[in-house]
Chains A and B, each alone.
Chain A
Amino acid sequence: AQSVAQPEDQVNVAEGNPLTVKCTYSVSGNPYLFWYVQYPNRGLQFLLKYITGDNLVKGSYGFEAEFNKSQTSFHLKKPSALVSDSALYFCAVRGDNYGQNFVFGPGTRLSVLP
């Protein structure tokens, strides 16, 4: 079975500081890992994905994520947070032997304080 954990319900960070949103996963087979962002009353927007290759993946709006196979983690990072980054962030996983269905984490609310 596939599962995703986001251990923090809420992350607060000051504008200009680096941010990290944590994600760990469990999946049989090789993982396909994704981060999505949701702004209030909107659908989810794709940020980045890890399929294969370099463990550091760069995505939209200056976000990046590091895949760590030994720790089964895929933490989302940004060097300098903006107030406009405040939103709900979801990590998702799909195993390469599990068809196309995704499993989403519960979400982490990021608040960037001015």
Chain B
Amino acid sequence: NAGVTQTPKFQVLKTGQSMTLQCAQDMNHEYMSWYRQDPGMGLRLIHYSVGAGITDQGEVPNGYNVSRSTTEDFPLRLLSAAPSQTSVYFCASSYGAGTTTGGELFFGEGSRLTVL
């Protein structure tokens, strides 16, 4: 199993450009999510999905879009990049849609994005 795979690992954008961060998991997890990591702020939830066709906003959704057409894939789209979106982005997934399992998150290796 590859686990959670993110691409690209590094990306430099100019202000106003758009791009998509790809995330795929091969564990048949129902729950998938995107976080951004900034120094001293921990991880903040951008968007999440509890299953194919279902997405919702997290703590910091502005400037980002997501879709979930399959169980495996959960791409994150930056519509018009801004310098404030310079960050490290992590995709994570977990099993168990129910709240009683306490399923831990499995993380990808991260995508480092710089917006000039």
Contact = CB atoms under 8 A, between A and B. Distances in A.
A96 interface: yes
B104 A34 contact: yes
Interface stretch (B14-22, B66-74, B78-86, B94-102): B94-102
Nearest to B31: A100
A96 B103 CA distance: 11
A44 B31 contact: no
Nearest to B103: A100
Interface string A38-54: 00011111100101000
A7 to B, nearest CB: 13
Contact of B42 (A32, A94, A106): A106
Nearest to B99: A96
Given A51-B102, A106-B40, A106-B41, A101 B108 contact: no
Measured as residues with beta carbon below 8 angstroms from the partner, the interface class of chain B is 20 to 34
B97 A44 contact: no
A44 B106 CA distance: 8
Contacts of B96: 100
A59 to B, nearest CB: 10
A42 B99 contact: no
Interface residues of A, number: 27
Given A42-B109, A43-B109, A104 B102 contact: no
Contacts of B50: 99-100
Given A101-B33, A105-B42, A106-B42, A46 B100 contact: no
Nearest to A98: B99
Nearest to A48: B104
B68 to A, nearest CB: 14
Contacts of A71: none
B102 A43 contact: no
6 contacts: A36-B107, A43-B110, A45-B107, A51-B101, A102-B45, A104-B35
Interface of A: 4, 9, 32, 34, 36, 41-46, 49, 51, 90, 92, 94, 96-102, 104-107
